[in-house]
Amino acid sequence: MSSYRGKSDYDCIWEGGIESFYSNFSTCKGLRTFKLIVDDITFYINPGYFGELSSVFQSAYEETTRAGKDYLEIHKYTPSEVLELLRVVTPCPVQKPITNDNITLLIRLASSLEIEQLIHEIENFITKNHVSMPLLLIGDIIKTMSILELQACDSYGVLLNFLAQLPTPEYDKISSLSFLGDGGYSDLVEIRDSQANLKIIKYNSRKESFRRNSIKIAKPFINMFKKNSFNLK
């Protein structure tokens, strides 16, 4: 039996048939003394740890402490969204992994709070797992990254290139403005077209190479035929 079972500041979560315990950050203990208030829920965090992760949080924390406050109110996200972020970036005692279920949310939070470490981990997750991801999820990620202007991320290009190389029936199902968003759709079409042009160039190059090789092989026989024809005269 887990030592965390029954503790009020830990929740039991079943993931893929495995029982995991993650902190719910509901208790002030140790270095977790600063309060994040989301709606009517209070989370206790270590401000020094989060300040190192997020420059956005660090600035907000310094501003609130100058005002004599020991809490920061968050209105942009729901309690469940903030809790998911806390569990992913904080050892509690283990960190919750990035999964297909939370990756889109984490992209939004990592971008909003400028958590570079989390962005890097998201990039790695996408690069390693994009081939097995549902196409709907890939489209949602591309749409989210485009809206947040994260096109410079390597994983954005990885996903677009993956979709651009799909067979035509599958490509036609996902290559829509509503599926990918305005920016994602435009980028996908551009990559698909460039890949098609590259295939034409490669095909023409192979044809030219075949023609040259054929001439090279046939030339001795042509010369021999010309020579024999001359001798017959």
- Residue 25 · residue 44 · CB < 8 Å: yes
Task: Give 135-147 pLDDT, tens digit per residue.
Answer: 999 999 999 999 9
The C-alpha angle with vertex 118 and arms to 114 and 122, in degrees rounded to 5, equals 120
Q: Is the confidence at residue 36, as pLDDT, over 90?
A: yes
Q: Give the residue among 114, 121, 119, 122 at the shortest CA–CA distance from 58.
A: 114
The token pair that represents 210 in the structure block:
């075949």
pLDDT of residue 174: 81
Q: How confident is the model at residue 1 (pLDDT cuts 50, 70, 90)?
A: very low
Q: Is the confidence at residue 212, as pLDDT, over 70?
A: no
Query: Which has more pLDDT, 224 or 151?
Result: 151
Domain 8-96 sits in CATH at 3.30.710
Residues in the chain: 233
What is the SS3 assignment for 43?
strand
Q: Is the confidence at residue 114, as pLDDT, over 80?
A: yes
pTM of the complete model: 0.79
Q: Is the confidence at residue 216, as pLDDT, over 60?
A: no
pLDDT of residue 222: 47
44 vs 26: CA distance, rounded Å = 6
Residue that the structure tokens 């990039």 belong to: 123
**Mean of all residue pLDDT scores within the chain:** 83
Task: Give 159-197 pLDDT, tens digit per residue.
Answer: 999 999 999 888 888 877 678 888 888 899 899 888 755
Per-domain residue ranges for the chain?
A: 8-96, 133-224
Q: Is the confidence at residue 4, as pLDDT, over 70?
A: no
Task: Give 48-106 pLDDT, tens digit per residue.
Answer: 999 999 999 999 999 999 999 999 999 999 999 999 999 999 987 778 999 999 999 99
